Amino acid sequence: KAGVTQTPRYLIKTRGQQVTLSCSPISGHRSVSWYQQTPGQGLQFLFEYFSETQRNKGNFPGRFSGRQFSNSRSEMNVSTLELGDSALYLCASSGGQTTDTQYFGPGTRLTVL
């Protein structure tokens, strides 16, 4: 099976802009979670989607949002970018025979200038 894919892999934006990141889960997985990884804060949970519904949410401002489509693909959006949003954004999927195990994609490296 193909793994979790994320596009784009690298992104450069300026402050105030918005950005959309995409994640395609492993075939058959219905849960998609998003994490932010920074040197200062480490790995932090953003939110999780299951069957097009947000099921869990981390402690991030409302500028961070997401959605999931009927084919389980997910997008996350960050509006009004700040310098501190520069991070590696990781997507993980779970489901099938391994509902409690998350498999991660390669991440999208976002740089905000």
Residues within the interface to another protein (CB under 8 A): 4, 6, 31, 33, 35, 42-43, 45, 48, 50, 55-56, 58, 90, 92, 94, 99-107, 109
For residue 61, which of 78, 75, 44 has the smallest C-alpha distance? 78
The minimum distance between CB 16 and another protein, in angstroms, equals: 27
The minimum distance between CB 98 and another protein, in angstroms, equals: 9
Q: What would the 3-class secondary structure string for 21-87 be?
A: EEEECCCCEEEEEEEEEECCCEEEEEEEEECCEEEEECCCCCCEEEEECCCCCEEEEECCCCHHHCE
Nearer to another protein (CB atom), residue 8 or residue 16? 8
Do you find a cis peptide bond into 8, omega within 30 degrees of 0?
yes
Nearer to another protein (CB atom), residue 8 or residue 80? 8
Nearer to another protein (CB atom), residue 72 or residue 94? 94
The minimum distance between CB 15 and another protein, in angstroms, equals: 24
Nearer to another protein (CB atom), residue 11 or residue 45? 45
What is the phi/psi pair of residue 83, to 5°?
Answer: -55, -35
